[in-house]
Amino acid sequence: MKAAILDFNRTLFDPDSSAFIEGTIPLLYLLKSRGIKLVLISLEEKGRTEQIKPISSYFDFILLPKEKTREEFQKVLQELRLPAGKVVVIGDYVREEITFGNQLGMTTIRVKQGKYASMTSTIPEEQATVTVSNLYQVISFLNNIDMGGN
């Protein structure tokens, strides 16, 4: 793995409590310390830039589109100049980040927490490579794979 695309809302940040979700900083620190390029993608919303500011230094770039689309994820791949197989997508919503990551051939990690935790799907492209319940389980998964591979 050479890069990670992370969703912001409900993956790293809980909008209901206006706080970062437990495990956010350890996850970002782990990825950055391993030399993984980090991309944050989040819908453009009022106040979002201020919400992101405390963690912005971890990211190589931040995208705030009006709408998440497959094309946005494709642009990220082009910007990173990496094959999809070297990129992981970490998110909570199966119909956006997980689906787009799968369609483009990336590894996908679904964090089943918050508002969309109970969302289920039988559509193959909405099935994450790995499903976890919290960010500490993401860290555990990443610690058990080769993050420095070619």
- For residues 79-98, give the mean pLDDT: 93
Q: Which residue has the higher pLDDT, 150 or 27?
A: 27
How far is it, in rounded angstroms, from Cα 98 to Cα 118?
A: 15
Parent domain of 15 = 3-143
Helices and strands: H and E segment counts in the chain: 5, 8
User: Is the per-residue pLDDT at 119 higher than 80?
Assistant: no
How far is it, in rounded angstroms, from Cα 16 to Cα 36?
A: 29
29 part of a folded domain: yes
Domain count, the chain: 1
- For residues 99-113, give the mean pLDDT: 95
Contact (Cβ atoms closer than 8 angstroms) between residue 17 and residue 127? no
Average pLDDT, the chain: 92
User: Is the per-residue pLDDT at 36 higher than 80?
Assistant: yes
CATH code at 57? 3.40.50.1000
User: Is the per-residue pLDDT at 117 higher than 90?
Assistant: no
How far is it, in rounded angstroms, from Cα 127 to Cα 130?
A: 8
User: Is the per-residue pLDDT at 148 higher than 60?
Assistant: no
pLDDT at 150: 44
The sign one gets for the Cα dihedral 129, 132, 138, 144 is negative
pLDDT at 99: 95
DSSP 8-state symbol, 103 = H
Which stretches of the chain are assigned E, i.e. beta strand?
Answer: 3-7, 13-14, 19-20, 37-41, 61-63, 87-91, 107-111, 130-132
Contact (Cβ atoms closer than 8 angstroms) between residue 139 and residue 30? yes
- For residues 85-109, give the mean pLDDT: 94
User: Is the per-residue pLDDT at 149 higher than 60?
Assistant: no
150 part of a folded domain: no
148 part of a folded domain: no
User: Is the per-residue pLDDT at 89 higher than 80?
Assistant: yes
In this structure, of 13-22, 44-53, 127-136, 138-147, the range with the lowest mean pLDDT score is 138-147
pLDDT at 95: 85
